[in-house]
Structure 1
Amino acid sequence: MYKLIVRNMGYFLISYDLHDPIQVYRPLVEEIQKIGSCRQCLDSLWVVKSNETCGLLKERLTKHIDRDDKLLVVGLKPHWAVHNLSKDCTDWLSKKI
């Protein structure tokens, strides 16, 4: 007998530091965009909607960065605050989270 596990969609903050000055962001950014509804709020900070866990998202994204690069994936709650972000990002957060 199989057990079906259903996860509710959640919102996650994804942030990264790529250390090689010539490091190409494109593969990582393209993978982040494939996750689902997303918005880039700062240069290396995204908010995404996904039914995956933080751990699964981390595993998925580390395939697109070097070993010495840094990656942070954090689940978001519907409580947040911003200062001086773009209207596009703030509007998106207001509608989605």
Structure 2
Amino acid sequence: MAASVRDNKDRSRFELDVGNDIAFANYRLTPTAVIITHTETPRALRGRGIGSELVKGALDLIRRDGRKVIAGCGFVVDYLDRHPEDADLVA
């Protein structure tokens, strides 16, 4: 469907390209965790699972870096509630 999620460190956000659009999740870093503060999927792309794909990819990157996640956004809270397999990442 889309390219891989990437960490745009300069903009402090995870990004997912979908066609000519970008879904993104803003974050702030702590010494041990990543606080995802906001997710945004372009209106035309909503309802297609792209937000979930974005969060899953972000969590994979966070796991790879050995950090935890703090859900500072309702979408991420809901995602983590629906995906208990990622509970080990929650700070």
Give me the TM-score of the superposition, normalised by structure 2: 0.28
Instruction: Work out which structure has the larger RCO, using CA pairs closer than 8 Å and 6 or more positions apart in sequence.
Output: 1
Give me the TM-score of the superposition, normalised by structure 1: 0.27
**Structure with a larger share of its residues in helix:** 2
Structure of larger gyration radius: 1
